[in-house]
């Protein structure tokens, strides 16, 4: 059992904050499907920019279960303090500080993972925010600036010394962006260097990988980012695997349809129909890629009709039409496949067929 302030968890699973992805509808969906924690999209510490529609939506946590987590990003202690206090006043129950984002537009402003180059500034920001609010403050970071400077263990010790309540470590450096494979040795070194809870993050896409990463790092919890895109049920699959069930029943097409329908309806309600349709398009793309992969249908074997139908889903201008076409598309897949299988589950063996049977099947 670990504690983050007043909140206690046993081997927690967290949804990683991702700009443009982890809005309130997606957070609620992942929480319903097994995530213990789900942080907001990154919010700028420059409160002068909070009047925009994008910022207002990122600050909206209506109806979210505890603990409500807001991630803030910036490079000036005073601005980070103001952002933390205002988010607390708006209902945040945990403040997460971003020192993991590798995006140029963030790093060029001396924020995100760029801060890892300046350890005194890291310490100043963390200490100021911890002292400014009476709620837990956590830190999301990478293993270092580049492979020659994996200073994650030193930064972790600084964080613990000033009162950071927990750490989430992406197993790549800032220079790596999202390329190559995540490495877990540095996460292990960080875990060995501190006593506060540590979440391991990076390339975790199934229960077996989660268990292997926990064993390799000694981490207290798992954080899932891109692995949840188009596959929000990954949290319940990992949970079941870690609890000893190696054969987790995958969702069938009916459940996938219901999950997708509910998700899209929440997007329309949250953003309004016009914007919700456009936000839904990227999620539909992730669901498409995941669904086809899990039922063993490669992209180059989809029928022309399915491909045309999916393009239509991405271009319609009303929510009703988008939902109708999505159901039609799923029905065409369901009609020619068995229920969805886990990526790690092999396709069932087909019985031997006569030569004539093989010929007629093409």
Euclidean distance between CA atoms 180 and 11, whole angstroms: 27
Q: How many CB atoms lie within 10 A of CB 354?
A: 8
Ordered by start, the domain boundaries in the chain are 2-242, 253-335
Q: How many CB atoms lie within 10 A of CB 133?
A: 17
Place of tokens 């897949």: 333
Question: 330, 253, 241: which is closest to 284 by C-alpha?
Answer: 330
Q: How many CB atoms lie within 10 A of CB 52?
A: 10
Q: Is the entire prediction scored with pTM above 0.85?
A: yes
Place of tokens 């803030």: 72
352 vs 275, higher pLDDT? 275
- Residue pair 270/24 in contact by the 8 Å Cβ criterion: yes
Strand blocks (E) in 190-277:
198-201, 221-224
Average pLDDT in the chain: 86
Q: What was the pLDDT predicted at 275?
A: 96
Catalytic residues: 101
Peptide linkage before 74 cis (omega within 30 of 0) = no
| Fold annotation for 2-242 | TIM Barrel (3.20.20)
**pLDDT one-digit tens code per residue, 205-250:** 999 999 999 999 999 999 999 999 999 999 999 999 999 876 676 7
**pLDDT one-digit tens code per residue, 121-175:** 999 999 999 999 999 999 999 998 878 788 999 999 999 999 999 999 999 988 7
Question: 202, 145, 138, 148: which is closest to 171 by C-alpha?
Answer: 202
Q: Please give the backbone phi and psi of residue 88, each rounded to the nearest 5 degrees, phi first.
A: -60, -45
């Amino acid at each position: 059992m670990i504690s983050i302030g007043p909140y206690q968890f046993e081997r927690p699973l967290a949804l990683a904050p991702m700009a443009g992805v982890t809005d309130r509808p997606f957070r609620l969906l992942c929480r319903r499907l097994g995530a213990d924690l789900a942080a907001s999209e990154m919010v700028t510490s420059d409160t002068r920019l909070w009047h925009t529609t994008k910022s207002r939506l990122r600050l909206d946590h209506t109806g979210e279960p505890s603990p409500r987590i807001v991630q803030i990003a910036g490079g000036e202690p005073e601005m980070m303090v103001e952002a933390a206090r205002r988010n607390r006043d708006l209902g945040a129950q945990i403040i997460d500080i971003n020192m993991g984002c590798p995006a140029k537009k963030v790093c060029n402003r001396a924020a995100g993972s760029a801060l890892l180059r300046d350890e005194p500034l890291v310490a100043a920001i963390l200490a100021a925010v911890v002292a400014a609010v009476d709620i837990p403050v956590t830190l999301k970071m990478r293993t270092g600036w580049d492979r020659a400077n994996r200073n994650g263990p030193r930064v972790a010790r600084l964080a613990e010394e000033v009162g950071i309540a927990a750490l989430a470590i992406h197993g790549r450096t800032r220079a790596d962006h999202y390329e190559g494979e995540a490495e877990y040795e540095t996460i292990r070194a960080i875990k060995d260097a501190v006593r506060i809870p540590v979440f391991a993050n990076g390339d975790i896409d199934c229960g077996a990988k989660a268990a292997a990463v926990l064993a390799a790092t000694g981490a207290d919890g798992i954080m899932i980012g891109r692995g949840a895109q188009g596959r929000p049920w990954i949290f319940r699959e990992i949970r079941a695997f870690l609890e000893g069930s190696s054969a987790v029943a995958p969702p069938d097409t009916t459940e996938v349809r219901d999950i997708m329908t509910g998700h899209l309806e929440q997007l329309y309600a949250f953003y309004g129909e016009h914007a919700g349709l456009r936000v839904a398009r990227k999620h539909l793309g992730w669901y498409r890629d995941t669904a086809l992969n899990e039922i063993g249908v490669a992209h180059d074997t989809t029928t022309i009709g399915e491909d045309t139908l999916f393009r239509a889903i991405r271009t319609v201008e009303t929510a009703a039409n988008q939902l109708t076409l999505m159901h039609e598309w799923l029905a065409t897949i369901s009609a020619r496949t068995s229920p969805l299988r886990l990526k790690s589950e092999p396709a069932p063996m087909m019985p031997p067929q006569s030569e004539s049977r093989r010929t007629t099947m093409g």
